[in-house]
Amino acid sequence: MLPISRVFATTAAGLVGLALTTSGSFADPIKFDFWYGLSGDLSSVVQQMCSNFNKSQSDYQIVCTSQTDYDTNLQNTIAAYRANKQPTITQIYDVGTATMLLSGAVMPVYQLMADNGYKINWDDYIPGIKSYYASSKGDLWSMPFNSSTAVLYWNKDAFKKIGKDAAPKTWEETADDMKALKAAGYDCPMAIDITNNESWEFLEQFSAIHNQPIATENNGYDGLDAKVEFNKTSFVKMATDMKSWYDQGLMVIKDAKAGESYAAAFAAGHCQMTVDSIGDHGTIGKTAPAGMHWGTAEIPMYAGNERHNSFVGGASLWVMRGKSADEYKGAAAFLNWIAQPEQALFWSTNTGYVPVTRTGFDFMTKSGFYQKPEFAGREVAIQSLSEGTPTPLTRGTRLAVMPQIRQEWGNAMQAIFAGKIGVQDGLDQAAQRSDADLARAAAQYKGATLP
Amino acid sequence: MTSADTRAAVIPADAATPRAAAVAPGQIDPGIGRDATAGALATPRRRGRERAVRAGEKRAVFGNNWLGFAFAIPQLLLIFTFFYWPASQALYWAFTLQGPWGGANTWVGLDNIRAVVTDPVYWDSVVRSLVFAFLSTGLSMLVALVLALLVDRELTGNRIYRSVLVWPYAIAAPALGRAFRFMLAPEAGLLAFINHLWPGIWNPTINGNEALAAIIFAFAWKYVGYNFIFMLAALQAIPRSLLEAGAMDGARPLRRMVDIQVPLLTPTLFFLLVLNITDSFQDSFGIVDIMTGGGPARATNLMVYKIYFDGFKGLDYSGAAAQSIILMLLVVGLTFIQFRFIERRVHYT
């Protein structure tokens, strides 16, 4: 009979030995940070993707943190960089692209992938998306992730009442349809929201589709001394028409602060048309009342113009400088993983965003994605992003103070709609203030050139 | 009685005591107006101490300087970390050109400040902030005064009001902003019925004046409780005998309030005025951010919100730093004006 103490000691030693042997066969995975600016439903999808990545391999572990929204994430990334605590990957929105390119704080994605031995077919990326995030030489500096574009959502039931079965293709046709809808008893033919946030839907998409400049220097791609031009292009006609339609009650302002956002108003059937991001397609599908027939179409344009590709929206993934080689290995593995067609299918199934590569789009089409009723209509976004070849003006905008320019535009439109100032005067004022912001940014980034 | 005794005699400070008895024959008259208790040869220090003893006071001197300083250190540390250090950084940033990503701090002298003061939108923001400050302070103090006077008269339910009315002050500004945004929403809020009667009359998302009214109302609501507590405490410090005397002379409650209570309340009113105006320049940020976002068309673009927007969204750190220095000077200036010109009308008892 062995003494109890001897039994315990042997058991303990045996357990420790077992633990050592089992743990010794796995190395600790390399951890790296990913900060993103989505919240709510979209945030849980990102978290799901992160855990899928961690489960799919054991070398790296990604730690994903939501920063609530894009603005906050950009501010936090900047603050973290100044304190030398930046994340490895960060998700920055479209208008932050110029800021990131001028920062000197990022590692270009094409270089990261090449350094870590991954072969990515960069030409596979949809042209309208690639040109937004690429340098002047055509190399991608950030990885497109959640890309979207704006489309026209239209209520098929309401249009049937006025005897139409297709969405309007021109603004002239849209005006007639709105008048017909109003006469048929609908008191909100189209929902809009004139704040800085609508600059993307109206000013930027309009300019892209009509191949009109928003600023000189090819929207800022060619230099930091750009000046805005939206007060001189055919956008002035668009703004004048919008004001007149608003006065006639054809375009109604729907703001979340007033009770209902424009997307929610459309989803509830209160408004019959709206221009919104394809990213809301899933949410509208989930919140629309059962039996409501609705669809998407490309944004209308003025008759007699050739249609060009619309601007991409959403955000892309940037890799920050100053991290260790191991973290870069992990980042490259993650970026390679999300570029796979399977992940594109996962992402687009669970959110409204579109696939960013041709291969991804083809994979999803073959798997019957766009035949499913809840996803039908999203291919309109790809179509909109692929119209023609990108011209120097339809690549995107590369203005470091785009958030400020959007704010000036929004303020001018609000003053115009409130009747405080005329359309041309309002746009001229916005242009003047935007130019001052651009000059200030040029001074701030003196000596830096856009890659 | 020798002459020495007479000289050293200490005589009670009684106005009835003949002055002649204090002066020994042959001695110089200490002078008219001098303290009658002091003997002619008493030294100034002894005179002071005697005066103090007469008055019944004892002077306490805290001899341990080191301990006093130790007590003050935590507060000094807090003030240094949360005020002096950030303020000095802001001062430095106001005179340099800051890149958003750090590095490249070029000295530009007064350029940032010049850019700010030559901007008409900035002056518009200053005017709006002043309008907001005075209207919200006035509204909040008026309502608080009325409530305090009524509660002081011990109307029914005054015990409940005493405890409950201060609660709004504890609500964080963003939470308050969200609640009021819902309540004042033109389509879904409590005021939606007005829009049913007169369509389009209330719409703070497009009408700038209505947006300003909404944030003034929300801010004033928060500070009513704070003002109320101070005013009530001050009212209760007014001796009842004064009010009773007034009542006996036939003064009605309203006249008593206006002629007796409010003038005696002026020290508290002055204190609250300074505090309310100062707070309205900085505590309004949360309300503006949630309720209106500075709009519509910059109608509610208060100085403090503009600093946040230009600095954090526009990434113009230098301009925002210059604006915050100017804001600080403005608030200091306003406080100085209040102390210089309004304080002399305050009746201190």
The answer on B190 and B51 residing in a single domain is no
Considering only CB atoms, which chain A residues are within 8 Å of B293? 195, 257
pLDDT grade, residue B38 (50/70/90)? very low
Among the partner-chain residues B181, B295, B313, the one whose CB lies closest to the CB of A71 is B313
Considering only CB atoms, which chain B residues are within 8 Å of A258? 185-188, 203-205
Residue B60 lies in a domain: no
Distance in angstroms between the alpha carbons of the first and the last residue of chain B:
47
**B36 vs A238 pLDDT, higher one:** A238
Q: How far is A202 from chain B (nearest CA, A)?
A: 17
Among the partner-chain residues A258, A404, A411, the one whose CB lies closest to the CB of B314 is A404
Whether residue B297 and residue A255 make contact (CB cut-off 8 A), yes or no, is no
Residue with token string 């306003």: B334
From B189, which residue of chain A is nearest by alpha-carbon distance? A259
Q: What is the pLDDT of residues B231-290, one digit of tens each?
A: 999 998 999 899 999 999 998 988 988 988 999 999 999 999 999 999 999 889 999 999
Residue B139 lies in a domain: yes
Residue B118 lies in a domain: yes
Domain boundaries, given as residue ranges, for chain A: 30-148+312-385, 150-310+400-444
Strands A30-36 vs A89-93: parallel, antiparallel or unpaired: parallel
Question: pLDDT at residue B147 above 80?
Answer: yes
The answer on B269 and B184 residing in a single domain is yes
Given this model, what pLDDT does residue A51 score? 95
Considering only CB atoms, which chain B residues are within 8 Å of A82? 101-102
- In this prediction the pTM is 0.80
Whether residue A259 and residue B188 make contact (CB cut-off 8 A), yes or no, is yes
Whether residue B314 and residue A415 make contact (CB cut-off 8 A), yes or no, is no
Secondary-structure class of domain A150-310+400-444 per CATH:
alpha beta
Interface test with B, best of A444, A445, A446 (most B CBs within 10 A): A444
Whether residue A78 and residue B101 make contact (CB cut-off 8 A), yes or no, is yes
What token pair was written down for A217? Answer: 């220097």
The answer on B334 and B233 residing in a single domain is yes
The answer on B126 and B89 residing in a single domain is no
Tell me what the mean pLDDT of segment B176-182 comes to.
90
Among the partner-chain residues B99, B181, B192, the one whose CB lies closest to the CB of A257 is B181
Q: How far is B293 from chain A (nearest CA, A)?
A: 10
Distance in angstroms between the alpha carbons of the first and the last residue of chain A:
80
From B119, which residue of chain A is nearest by alpha-carbon distance? A433
DSSP three-state, residue A169: coil
Task: Give the largest CA-CA distance in chain A.
Answer: 102
Within 10 A of A130 (CB to CB), how many other CB atoms are there?
A: 22
How far apart CA A116 and CA A130 sit, in angstroms, is: 21
Residues of B near A (Cβ–Cβ under 8 Å) read: 97-102, 104, 106, 115, 121, 181, 185-189, 192, 203-208, 291-293, 295-298, 309, 312-316, 318-319
Considering only CB atoms, which chain A residues are within 8 Å of B297? 411-412, 414-415, 418, 420
DSSP three-state, residue A443: helix
Residue B103 lies in a domain: no
Given this model, what pLDDT does residue B20 score? 45
Cα distances (angstroms) measured from residue A260 to each of B189, B205, B290, B291: 11, 12, 15, 14
Cβ(A100)–Cβ(A90) below 8 Å: no
The answer on B216 and B146 residing in a single domain is yes
Whether residue B295 and residue A411 make contact (CB cut-off 8 A), yes or no, is yes
Whether residue B101 and residue A105 make contact (CB cut-off 8 A), yes or no, is yes
* Residue among A93, A94, A95, A123 at smallest CA distance from A110: A123
Whether residue A415 and residue B189 make contact (CB cut-off 8 A), yes or no, is no
Q: How far is B186 from chain A (nearest CA, A)?
A: 5
Cα distances (angstroms) measured from residue B206 to each of A410, B181, B193, B209: 12, 14, 18, 9
Return per-residue pLDDT of chain A as tens, 451 residues.
Answer: 556 666 665 665 556 555 555 544 456 889 999 999 988 878 999 999 999 999 999 999 999 999 988 888 999 999 999 889 999 999 999 888 998 998 889 999 999 999 999 988 998 998 888 889 998 888 999 999 999 999 999 999 999 999 999 999 999 999 999 999 999 999 899 999 887 578 889 999 999 999 999 999 999 888 888 999 999 999 999 999 999 999 999 999 888 777 788 989 999 999 999 999 888 888 888 889 988 999 999 999 999 999 999 999 889 999 999 999 999 999 999 999 999 999 989 998 888 889 999 999 999 999 889 888 888 889 899 899 888 888 888 888 999 888 889 989 999 999 999 889 999 999 999 999 999 989 888 888 877 788 8
The answer on B125 and B87 residing in a single domain is no
Given this model, what pLDDT does residue A15 score? 62
Q: How far is A91 from chain B (nearest CA, A)?
A: 16
The interaxial angle of helices B120-152 and B317-337, nearest 10 deg, is: 40
Residue B308 lies in a domain: yes
pLDDT grade, residue B13 (50/70/90)? very low
Interface test with B, best of A102, A193, A257 (most B CBs within 10 A): A257
pLDDT grade, residue B104 (50/70/90)? low
Give the gyration radius of chain A's Cα atoms. Answer: 25
Considering only CB atoms, which chain B residues are within 8 Å of A434? none
Residue B102 lies in a domain: no
Given this model, what pLDDT does residue B9 score? 42
- A155 forms beta bridges with A294
Given this model, what pLDDT does residue B344 score? 81
Among the partner-chain residues B99, B208, B309, the one whose CB lies closest to the CB of A445 is B99
Fold classified for A30-148+312-385: D-Maltodextrin-Binding Protein; domain 2 (3.40.190)
Tally of domains in chain B: 3
Given this model, what pLDDT does residue A451 score? 83
Q: Return contacts of A112-118, CB within 8 angstroms, 24+ apart.
A: A112/A319, A112/A328, A112/A331, A112/A332, A112/A335, A113/A332, A113/A335, A113/A336, A115/A328, A115/A332, A116/A328, A116/A329, A116/A332, A116/A333, A118/A332, A118/A335, A118/A336
Tell me what the mean pLDDT of segment B128-150 comes to.
94
The answer on B116 and B90 residing in a single domain is no
Q: HSE, CB side, 13 Å, CA atoms: give it for residue A37.
A: 22
Least confident stretch, A342-356, A376-390, B34-48, B101-115: B34-48
Domains A30-148+312-385 and A150-310+400-444 share a fold: yes
Whether residue A99 and residue B100 make contact (CB cut-off 8 A), yes or no, is yes
The answer on B321 and B216 residing in a single domain is yes
From A444, which residue of chain B is nearest by alpha-carbon distance? B99
Given this model, what pLDDT does residue B155 score? 73
The domain of B332 spans 111-345
The answer on B125 and B36 residing in a single domain is no
Least confident stretch, A165-174, A354-363, B163-172, B339-348: B339-348
The answer on B243 and B118 residing in a single domain is yes
The answer on B320 and B253 residing in a single domain is yes
CATH of the domain at B286: 1.10.3720.10
The answer on B169 and B187 residing in a single domain is yes
On whether ipTM exceeds 0.95, the answer is: no
Among the partner-chain residues B102, B204, B295, the one whose CB lies closest to the CB of A82 is B102
Given this model, what pLDDT does residue A7 score? 62
Given this model, what pLDDT does residue A12 score? 59
- A313 forms beta bridges with A148
